[in-house]
Structure 1
Amino acid sequence: MTRLSRRSFLTAAGVSLATPYIARAQSNAPIKVGGMLPMSGAASIEGRQVLLGLQFAVEEINAKGGLLDRKIELVIEDDESNSTKGVTAVRRLIERDKVPFIVGTYASAVVVAAVKVAAEYKVPMLSGGSTAAAGTDQNTPGDPWFFRSWPDSNKQGEDTAKAIVEKFKKTKVAIIHDNTNYGVTLADQVTRVVTAVGGVIVSRDSFNAGEQDFSSMLTKVRTLRPEAVYIGGWAGDGANIVRQAAEIGLRAQFVGSGSMLSDDFIKLAGPASEGFAVATVFEPSTPNPVGRAFADRFRARFNQDANTFSSIGFDSTSIGLEAMRRVGRPDGQEIQKMIRGGMKDFALAQGPAGTTAAFNEKGSVDFPDFIAVIKDGKRRLEV
């Protein structure tokens, strides 16, 4: 038998005695979960609203004692809607913070790049607002690593287009969209569906996100006398378009993409937002009792109404946390399996009454969008 010196023996004994203490200290440490959103840049309006939902979900679970006898710590990375920074943020959250899942992000192009990295590390991502079908289309059917707890842009575009023709009775439609994957996908879907249900697309114009002057484009559109104008893009751009359209006298039913659901859109567009219509998965007046309860708690906490952005942040975070609770440990691979097929009984704040986290094989949840119209400075559900 190998002989140990007294020093070696004491060192070995000290290590063995210290190990249980270290393990206990580690087991009581907070569980970090990741959030990746545009806190700055063109989509920061939306990103900051989504963040409130993430924070609220974590606050509520910590108020109940945390999860797995540990507190939850939310770690946020700002991707600035930039794919390169998004990839770096994912690596940092996984390698540095050891997060078992990530809620992120808003810009779909960033999702497409970032989820490839997350999948390599076996860490699931739950959408922080990304709606473009490209996010879930890149998933392997039956084995998704990116999850969206609401319908993709194809379904949003379809529901919006049908509302233009069937609800608002407008058949001459002009389309204005940004050049992001999100904007192009929506414009394509609106074009297909409007045409299929008897409408006509009188023009289609695109712009770069962040542009400020739309006067030439809108003047040209005005000469075509459209009955409706569909806008696909981010909230700030949409507000500028609606406001400038009013200034040049372009009168039509304006309809926009889900990114234009925040109260900030109404503030930025001002009186020109009156009558603006948008597809939505949540409003405080939702007929979904789970959503209504969330809206009441949110208002009590933040002294402001919840909106679609805060609801999707809340639902995405809640799904990840509940999946981790059911798994019993912060294990990304096991959490992905649970989200993939074991959450069909988990009720969501979004969607109609009875909507649950029943993800399809591509990682999306299917339900019909609501249509909301801005009246007296507030969104009202059209039911």
Structure 2
Amino acid sequence: MKITRRATLGMMAALAAPSILRAQSAGVQHVGVMLPFSGIASVEGLQTIKGIELAVEEFNASGRYPKTIEILREDDESNASKGVAAVRKLIENHEVPFIVGTYASAVALAATRVAREYKVPMLTGGSTGAAVTEDNPPGDPWFFRAFPDSNDQGEHTAQDIIRVLGKKKIAIMHDRTPYGTSLAEQVQRVVAAEPGGEIVFVDNYATGEQDFFPVLTRLRQIAPEAVYIGGWAADGAMMVRQAREVGLDTQFVGSGSMITDDFIRLAGPASEGFAVATLYEPGTTNPHGKAYGERHLARWGENGNTMTGLGYDSMSIGLEAMARVGEPDSAKIQQMIYKGMADFPIVTGPGEQYAKFTEKGGVLYRMMMSRVVNGKREIIAG
């Protein structure tokens, strides 16, 4: 039975339909993508979509589904209200069976609550904030993250700063988003627990900040051995570039948003030596990731990165789940993603990794760390 999507959320909750089938154009199956294609996180969004598009192209070529997959895109601009509106549009107007998105964790949290009411699964295109998967009902996740959350990222990065980079006096700069705040809290906790680890300075900043000179001058006087930055790539690049201008000579370490070539271009020569938490590099030990990297390079003429890898994994998982179900049934796809994909390989993470989700909708593995050497990232841990 087909149930119209143009009802209110309250009506949908009351109906509690276990299975909703969608009408699509003959021969075409639409799937939803919601990312920040403009705004503060557009650097990340415009990378993620490349992995998503490659996944769709390869899936269509495989003949795994009787219809041609087409992407319907929505730009949430890293804005929660626009993210909610985008989800409603994709579900109510276009009846997509699942959505890949988004990047900003605050947007993901607001959007996935709406999608969950409609019983449509979301697979994140990069949201790391632990709060989003923690919001899932245990054993009934509708938001899926095929990589570690911000708690794991903060823990792994803090350990690598001390154990791999050999830095113990740490300063922290983070934005005020849930992503940046949760990372900073985790780094503080882990550094304090490491032998000799010491947090010597903590401060926060607004996204889109253009003037870091005052705080960087203070940091030059404090002389930390490393500065950890938790936030968006554009802000991190601005900070690193301005640090060189004020003569702050220290080891900068960034959060996972800062792992694209765009960051290196934005930071310029100041990016040399920059270390960053990473989920994917072309030099990965993951055989599936290495093969993906070759295909990405052939398709786009540039190396893949964490953002492209996450987009590729999330879309590939959603499409494979729909193929295994055999129809665009959101409830069945959600169950397949949750319980039936443990044998499906993903390209991110070290070694061989698979889409084996926890009861909260996450996938667990240890993150890697890369460092910029001669303008290119090289894996130094993981």
Q: TM-score normalised by the shorter chain: which range applies?
A: over 0.9
Q: CA deviation at 1:62?
A: 1.4
User: Which residue is equivalent to 2:118?
Assistant: 121
User: Which residue is equivalent to 1:15?
Assistant: none
Q: What pairs with 1:185-334 in structure 2 (closer than 5 Å)? A: 185-198=182-195, 199-334=197-332
Q: CA deviation at 1:63?
A: 1.9
* Residue from 174, 180, 187 that aligns with 2:177: 180
User: Which residue is equivalent to 2:380?
Assistant: 382
1:151 is matched by which residue type in structure 2? P
2:266 is matched by which residue type in structure 1? L
Separation in structure 1 between the aligned mates of residue 262 and residue 62 of structure 2, nearest angstrom: 32
Separation in structure 1 between the aligned mates of residue 25 and residue 70 of structure 2, nearest angstrom: 14
Separation in structure 2 between the aligned mates of residue 41 and residue 26 of structure 1, nearest angstrom: 31
Separation in structure 1 between the aligned mates of residue 258 and residue 193 of structure 2, nearest angstrom: 25
Q: Which runs of structure 1 show a deviation greater than 3 angstroms over 4 or more consecutive aligned residues?
A: 25-28
Q: CA deviation at 1:26?
A: 5.9
Q: CA deviation at 1:248?
A: 0.5
Unaligned runs of 5+ residues in structure 2 are 1-22
User: Which residue is equivalent to 2:34?
Assistant: 36
Q: What pairs with 1:328-343 in structure 2 (closer than 5 Å)? A: 328-343=326-341
Residue pair 1:151, 1:366 contacting (<8 A) in 2 also: yes
Separation in structure 2 between the aligned mates of residue 309 and residue 132 of structure 1, nearest angstrom: 15
1:201 is matched by which residue type in structure 2? I
2:232 is matched by which residue type in structure 1? W
* Aligned-partner SS, 1:229: strand
Q: CA deviation at 1:146?
A: 0.4
Determine if the alignment matches structure 1 residue 138 to structure 2 residue 141: no
Separation in structure 2 between the aligned mates of residue 206 and residue 137 of structure 1, nearest angstrom: 24
* Residue from 148, 166, 171 that aligns with 2:145: 148
Question: Cα deviations across residues 19-72 of structure 1 (Å, max 9, x unaligned)?
Answer: xxxxxx96743110000000100000100000111111111111223x431100
Separation in structure 2 between the aligned mates of residue 63 and residue 328 of structure 1, nearest angstrom: 17
* Aligned-partner SS, 1:297: helix
User: Which residue is equivalent to 1:58?
Assistant: 56
Change (3 A) 1:128 1:26: closer
State the TM-score, normalizing by the size of structure 1.
0.92
Separation in structure 1 between the aligned mates of residue 375 and residue 245 of structure 2, nearest angstrom: 18
Which one has a bigger Cα radius of gyration? 1
* Residue from 95, 98, 104 that aligns with 1:98: 95
* Aligned-partner SS, 1:241: helix
* Aligned-partner SS, 2:139: coil
* Aligned-partner SS, 1:76: strand
Separation in structure 2 between the aligned mates of residue 334 and residue 33 of structure 1, nearest angstrom: 15
Separation in structure 1 between the aligned mates of residue 24 and residue 320 of structure 2, nearest angstrom: 22
Separation in structure 2 between the aligned mates of residue 257 and residue 68 of structure 1, nearest angstrom: 37
Q: Identity of aligned pairs, percent?
A: 58
User: Which residue is equivalent to 2:347?
Assistant: 349
Q: CA deviation at 1:256?
A: 0.5
Residue pair 2:99, 2:121 contacting (<8 A) in 1 also: yes
State the TM-score, normalizing by the size of structure 2.
0.92
Residue pair 2:27, 2:66 contacting (<8 A) in 1 also: no
Separation in structure 2 between the aligned mates of residue 253 and residue 40 of structure 1, nearest angstrom: 30
Change (3 A) 1:26 1:151: closer
Separation in structure 1 between the aligned mates of residue 347 and residue 25 of structure 2, nearest angstrom: 32
Question: Cα deviations across residues 133-170 of structure 1 (Å, max 9, x unaligned)?
Answer: 01101011111110000000000000100011111111
Change (3 A) 1:154 1:283: same
* Aligned-partner SS, 1:74: strand
Q: CA deviation at 1:255?
A: 0.4
Determine if the alignment matches structure 1 residue 75 to structure 2 residue 61: no
Change (3 A) 1:27 1:209: closer
Residue pair 1:28, 1:69 contacting (<8 A) in 2 also: no
Separation in structure 2 between the aligned mates of residue 28 and residue 81 of structure 1, nearest angstrom: 33
Unaligned runs of 5+ residues in structure 1 are 1-24
User: Which residue is equivalent to 2:18?
Assistant: none
Determine if the alignment matches structure 1 residue 373 to structure 2 residue 371: yes
1:153 is matched by which residue type in structure 2? S
**Aligned-pair RMSD on alpha carbons?**
1.1
Q: CA deviation at 1:379?
A: 0.3
Q: CA deviation at 1:354?
A: 1.8
Q: CA deviation at 1:329?
A: 0.5
Separation in structure 2 between the aligned mates of residue 26 and residue 131 of structure 1, nearest angstrom: 32
Question: Cα deviations across residues 235-279 of structure 1 (Å, max 9, x unaligned)?
Answer: 000000001011111111110100000101000101110111011
User: Which residue is equivalent to 1:12?
Assistant: none
1:149 is matched by which residue type in structure 2? A
Separation in structure 1 between the aligned mates of residue 137 and residue 276 of structure 2, nearest angstrom: 31
Separation in structure 2 between the aligned mates of residue 294 and residue 131 of structure 1, nearest angstrom: 22
* Aligned-partner SS, 1:174: strand
